[in-house]
Structure 1
Amino acid sequence: MASHNGRGDILIGIDAGTSVIKAVAFDLGGRQVAEAAVKNRYRTGDDGSATQSMAETWEDCAEALRHLGEKLEGLAARTAAIAVTGQGDGTWLADGDHRPVGDAWLWLDARAAPTVDRLEKEAGARARFEATGTGLNTCQQGAQMAHIAATRPELLANAAVALHCKDWLYLNLTGARATDPSEASFTFGNFRNRAYDDAVIETLGLRDFRHLLPEIVDGTKTTHPLSPEAAKQTGLLAGTPVSLGFVDMVMTALGAGVYTGDAGTACSTIGSTGVHMRAVHASQVRLNDDNTGYVIALPVPGMVTQVQTNMAATLNIDWVLEVGRGLLADMGVEVSHRDLVAKIDDWLSRARPGALLYHPYISEAGERGPFINADARAGFIGLSAGHRYPDLVRAVVEGLAMAARDCYAEMGEMPGELRLTGGAARSRGLRGVLSATIGAPVRVSAREEAGAAGAAMMAAVAIGVYPDMERCIGEWVTPLLGEAERPDPAMAALYQRRYPTYAAARHALEPIWNAMAKDRRAERDGAAEAAADGRTTK
């Protein structure tokens, strides 16, 4: 570890998730010393909307930093630098006075689906994918801005800058309008040079809104000082260097070990969504024929992560547990979600492996990896009268693992080793199912807050604590990786046989999903017409 020019001995990493904002303090060698969290709220609508108050999100971030100061004495004077990452995709519009232009559209928002369908049928779709390395979907700012331009043009007319979540927080922390190379290049640019690409912007129909895209800043090289206004709100010192992290997916993977120089290694984050990625040089990226997945820059020269993401991972587990909790509540038995989570490994052990197929597309936004279909929905195949609740739980967990394999298959060969992060990685049973399905040993990092750590690592390099990211990884990441857990051979052989059936069923179900979605839209339109008629007659 090198010395740095500042006086502080603490680095703060901010990780602004969809439902929780965390502020985490690390010492300069990467040891986590304190953490504070504030719940973040979002709203959904019947029209597929998923929005978040921009003002509340900043207030929650400032509150988390104040709480961190309450837990760590002298934090303001001890802080050498701050770094911020956050939920990816989405559209956070601010005006010329840096005030919100309405609520943010989140990555969960599905309203842009018709615009995605239109853009993907146009001539520039493949060229856009080859530049960004990223399939267009309803989550992304490019698709959302194109849809806003067609349906709510006043929002863009009132905006001075289009940001992502972490960029919005960075604006409030520093007053600087900026975004990072990862989100800029996979949305509007080229992953090879990490810059905006005017041809990509043209294919999205956003040439007239090019001025809304902020400067691209690499947080390992450039920082901005904490503003006096932000200092008052957070309790930290004005002038403290602030680093803009990359998108949360790669920050989490970086902190969990996706890039340690080991060839064939991959990293899966099993959280609300499933994020499956492998670190490769930009020249080694393999783009598929289906225009799906992401290529997201790492804060390491020339290196990117090739990514496939599931819209829903543990959201499926939450659903099956909530079904059980609801039934118990109807019988007068109250149990907590935590109680049910503690039973998962037991239920897994009581169910026969591979007895059912489950496709884990529980999200209202459908699926985005390794295929894009906003109408995709979850379902069980193979149920019989002899199956019980543990069989459903095991099928859901196996479905998550099959979806992970589906994603890695789209990127090439299966990983030689899988690093896991996310809350579900604490389940030994789930780790065993993932290991057997992928056919590779798994390792779990002891790092508690990988996303915040990844951001803080960027700040550590930016202020000179380390000369480069490789040196920082050597101290912050590699020593925290646990022992390799090898797959059970019999279970691995079973899942190897089951996977082609899982994939074939997924393809066969697509027309069923589409037909059901058509019926839902017809019912919704009918209800809207009936409501309008009722207002008219009154």
Structure 2
Amino acid sequence: MNYLIGVDVGTTATKAVLYDEHATVLGHFSKQYALYPNSQGMAEQDPATIVDAVETTIHDAAAQADLEHGKLLAVAFSSANQSVIMLDKNYRPLSRFITWADTRASKVARQLKHLPLGKILYQRTGTPIHPMSPLTKIMWLHRAQPAKVAQTSYYGDLKAYLFHQFFDVFKLDVSVASCTGMMNIRTQDWDERALKLAKIERHQLPEIVSTTTRETGLLKVAQEKMGIPADTPFVYGAFDGALSNLGVGAIQSHEVAITIGTSAGVRVVTDHPVIDPHQRLFCYAVDHERWVVGGPLNNGGDVFQWAVENLVDVNAAETEPVDPYAFANHAIAGVPAGAHGLIFHPFLGGERAPLWNANARGSFFGLSELHTRADMLRAVMEGICMNIATVFDAVSDVAGKPLSVTATGGFARSMVWRQMLADVLDCRVDIPESFESGCLGAITMAMESLGMIHQLNEVTDFIGDVQSYLPDADAVATYQKCLPIFKQVEKLLAPAYDEIAQLQEEE
């Protein structure tokens, strides 16, 4: 038997999945790590911890494979995007990874967004002007940490740093590069105008390579920790959102993929760059021929976790033979669609798409003395879905109304949430049996790189059983009344977001 390993390097954990050469899952492995936040918007990761997690999960996956009688054909990568690490002339870290979730560049982003140049850069790079963008992060670093910038020879990201640690190269796939706000989506090379604004030179960034590019010749230290042959090909792969689409087979323009984990994302694949005239959406590369258009949302499962921790009746939950999340889902199922006229805006962590406002804040609207904790729990779940619907509508505006939605992520384990998403979107929702779509997408790129398949759409042969959920007409009618109110209230509150955020910072 021959093997492939897909690795997904995320914000709080690295996952590895062991497959056979027919993409059958043989084992799951993961290792968690800390995200370092603070009240000023910092959200950083420790580079050594990330390297260790990747090496450990690959080691554990390889240990389950029978490499005495089989061969590890490749290791392929999915990774979070929009991280920045400062490196000295020997590629040693001068900083931790500044992740996509870091909002310290908010002021820089806000100033740039209001300039004509901001719109021009969005049109050239496909990256919305926001503190998540490495472009604005590097601009902020020049202002906030000039002494460290003076010592910096190179700016890398999560994947470029890992491949340097493993192979002593400084390269980055076109997919992750396209998420930086510094790659021109038409030339697929670093954009001179963005580099000038960031005050960096081309040689300070990684070389942009294809998503199917392979590296071999593992450095000895990494090879020993992973316990795999040094000549094992490592395939760069793409950013996690693109590979999530690929891993669920949503690679046609009429198929939308939605992921709801800690955060969320709505994405559709096109055969050409698509720019939203209202700057609500990103346009990033899947590979050199395909593009993914969509929007990332800060607020997903983490908001539901907050709701469960703060709204579930602890005394009632203790009498039930289920965990608090199952108890919450049961309570929500007993409340009708619309939560008795209660609407929740889930902006607990600011918001990216469609608002692109790091100062956005959450709220309940319509709350009365008649509402219960169960109503509030349902309103939270509905609010997350309605927020996703606003991005879904924006994607439909620029890419056409989809015929189906494929949804993955931790939320997909909730039957209540599955049906609710279909009702709010008024669209069929398909839930694949396999939840690790990023890893499957990564090994599909490895298969194409190795010549095992001829085109990426052959991934549909590897996807297991799918459960489909059709919209309920009565619930759809209710949500079509709720959604306009959701959007109207958000617009009314938007002017106050900066003021409330400032007030909270002063506390």
TM-superposition CA deviations, 1:472-496 (whole Å, max 9, x none): x23223xx25143210011111111
Taking structure 1 as the reference length, what is the TM-score of the superposition?
0.88
SS in 1 for 2:48: helix
Letter in 2 for 1:250: A
Whether 1:201 aligns to 2:195 is yes
Which aligned pairs between 1:461-472 and structure 2 lie closer than 5 A?
A: 461-471=448-458
Partner of 1:269: 259
Give the whole-Å Cα distance in 2 for the aligned partners of 1:448 and 1:268: 12
Q: Quick one: which of 375, 378, 381 aligns to 2:362?
A: 378
Whether 1:281 aligns to 2:271 is yes
Letter in 1 for 2:155: A
Q: Quick one: which of 124, 133, 136 aligns to 1:140?
A: 133
Whether 1:68 aligns to 2:61 is yes
Letter in 1 for 2:78: T
Assess if the C-alpha contact under 8 Å between 1:321 and 1:340 holds in 2: yes
Give the whole-Å Cα distance in 2 for the aligned partners of 1:400 and 1:517: 21
Whether 1:357 aligns to 2:343 is yes
Whether 1:252 aligns to 2:244 is yes
Q: CA 1:75/1:485 → structure 2, altered by over 3 Å: closer, same or farther? A: farther
Partner of 1:475: 461
Whether 1:438 aligns to 2:432 is no
Partner of 1:235: 227
**Shift in Å, 1:426:** 1.7
SS in 2 for 1:131: helix
TM-superposition CA deviations, 1:493-529 (whole Å, max 9, x none): 11112111110000001122222122234x25xxxxx
TM-superposition CA deviations, 1:445-498 (whole Å, max 9, x none): 122311111111111111121122123x23223xx2514321001111111121
Assess if the C-alpha contact under 8 Å between 2:216 and 2:230 holds in 1: no
Assess if the C-alpha contact under 8 Å between 2:248 and 2:460 holds in 1: no
Q: CA 1:350/1:87 → structure 2, altered by over 3 Å: closer, same or farther? A: same
Partner of 2:282: 294
Letter in 2 for 1:257: G
Give the whole-Å Cα distance in 2 for the aligned partners of 1:107 and 1:436: 31
Give the whole-Å Cα distance in 2 for the aligned partners of 1:116 and 1:483: 41
Q: Quick one: which of 501, 511, 520 aligns to 2:485?
A: 501
Assess if the C-alpha contact under 8 Å between 2:3 and 2:70 holds in 1: no
SS in 2 for 1:208: coil
Give the whole-Å Cα distance in 1 for the aligned partners of 2:202 and 2:84: 14
**Shift in Å, 1:75:** 7.8
Give the whole-Å Cα distance in 2 for the aligned partners of 1:352 and 1:212: 56
Q: CA 1:26/1:266 → structure 2, altered by over 3 Å: closer, same or farther? A: same
Whether 1:161 aligns to 2:154 is yes
**Shift in Å, 1:105:** 0.8
Assess if the C-alpha contact under 8 Å between 1:223 and 1:241 holds in 2: yes
Give the whole-Å Cα distance in 1 for the aligned partners of 2:492 and 2:230: 58
Partner of 1:319: 306
Q: Quick one: which of 179, 186, 191 aligns to 1:192?
A: 186
Q: CA 1:317/1:42 → structure 2, altered by over 3 Å: closer, same or farther? A: same
Q: State how many pairs are aligned.
A: 501
SS in 1 for 2:284: strand
Give the whole-Å Cα distance in 2 for the aligned partners of 1:70 and 1:12: 11
Letter in 1 for 2:442: A
SS in 2 for 1:383: coil
**Shift in Å, 1:333:** 5.0
Give the whole-Å Cα distance in 1 for the aligned partners of 2:156 and 2:462: 29
Assess if the C-alpha contact under 8 Å between 1:258 and 1:419 holds in 2: yes
Partner of 1:30: 23
**Shift in Å, 1:194:** 2.2
Letter in 1 for 2:460: G
Partner of 2:215: 223
Moved over 4 A (4+): 331-336
Give the whole-Å Cα distance in 2 for the aligned partners of 1:335 and 1:42: 33
Partner of 1:120: 113
Assess if the C-alpha contact under 8 Å between 2:2 and 2:72 holds in 1: yes
TM-superposition CA deviations, 1:111-141 (whole Å, max 9, x none): 1101111211233111111111221111121
Assess if the C-alpha contact under 8 Å between 2:432 and 2:467 holds in 1: no
Deviates more, 1:74-83 or 1:487-496: 74-83
C-alpha RMSD of the superposition = 2.2
Q: CA 1:476/1:384 → structure 2, altered by over 3 Å: closer, same or farther? A: same
Q: CA 1:351/1:149 → structure 2, altered by over 3 Å: closer, same or farther? A: same
**Shift in Å, 1:13:** 0.9
Assess if the C-alpha contact under 8 Å between 1:55 and 1:100 holds in 2: no
Whether 1:424 aligns to 2:411 is yes
Q: CA 1:75/1:321 → structure 2, altered by over 3 Å: closer, same or farther? A: farther
Partner of 1:533: none
Q: Quick one: which of 88, 104, 109 aligns to 2:97?
A: 104
Give the whole-Å Cα distance in 2 for the aligned partners of 1:75 and 1:113: 53
In structure 2, stretches of 5+ residues that fail to align are none
**Shift in Å, 1:414:** 4.2
Give the whole-Å Cα distance in 1 for the aligned partners of 2:4 and 2:170: 22
Q: CA 1:264/1:465 → structure 2, altered by over 3 Å: closer, same or farther? A: same
Letter in 1 for 2:225: Q
Q: Quick one: which of 32, 40, 50 aligns to 1:57?
A: 50
Q: CA 1:334/1:148 → structure 2, altered by over 3 Å: closer, same or farther? A: farther
Partner of 2:78: 85
Assess if the C-alpha contact under 8 Å between 1:167 and 1:244 holds in 2: no
**Shift in Å, 1:55:** 1.0
Letter in 2 for 1:190: N
Percentage identity across paired residues of the two chains: 23
